[in-house]
Structure 1
Amino acid sequence: MNYGHIRLNLGDLIEKSNLSKNKICQLCQIQHTQLNRYCKNEATRVDLNVLARICCVLECDIGDILTYVNGDETEEDIDK
């Protein structure tokens, strides 16, 4: 059975913000490599404290960063 997965939308949020990745790393006190993994949707485990800091810095909700993708959906469906 395909249960789906969680998609990180952080790259899109950062593009819309007026902050650089370097500034976000500094404000969130995280490594640039960690932020890049989140932005590229390559993180296999997420740190809830880091997500809370990112939400605070970007002034967004956790639902803006994380999206549940149903197992029946394709990548084309997601991008619509």
Structure 2
Amino acid sequence: MLIEIRLQQLLKEKRMSQRELERRTKIFQPTISKMCSNNLQHMPLDALAKICEALECEISDVLRLKKNEEEEAK
């Protein structure tokens, strides 16, 4: 199983830019960009909490478990 970060989709749904999220959360834009591209190795829990608060969503809206390709082939 893999963890998928759905931040880009949430930002589109909320019609919010990465810059606006940076302003509201004080999380640096390069970090937000990595989250949006699902290219982040670890996500601090305080950052996740700030994102959920800014987007008025739950953790399960931001993170999803996804089967990797090897598991789907079985």
Shared topology, TM-score over 0.5? Answer: yes
Write the letter of the residue equivalent to 1:73: E
User: Where does structure 1 differ by over 3 angstroms across 4 or more consecutive aligned residues?
Assistant: none
Query: Alignment RMSD, CA only?
Result: 1.3
The reply to whether residue 14 of structure 1 matches residue 11 of structure 2 is yes
- Where does structure 1 lack aligned partners over 5 or more consecutive residues? 75-80
Task: Output one character per residue of 1:6-39: Cα deviation in whole Å (capped at 9) or x when no partner.
Answer: 1101110001112221111011001100000000
Higher helix share: 2
Identical-residue share of aligned pairs (%): 27
The answer as to 2:30 corresponding to 1:37 is no
Q: TM-score, normalised by structure 1?
A: 0.82
TM-score calculated relative to the size of structure 2: 0.88
Instruction: State the partner residue of 2:55.
Output: 58
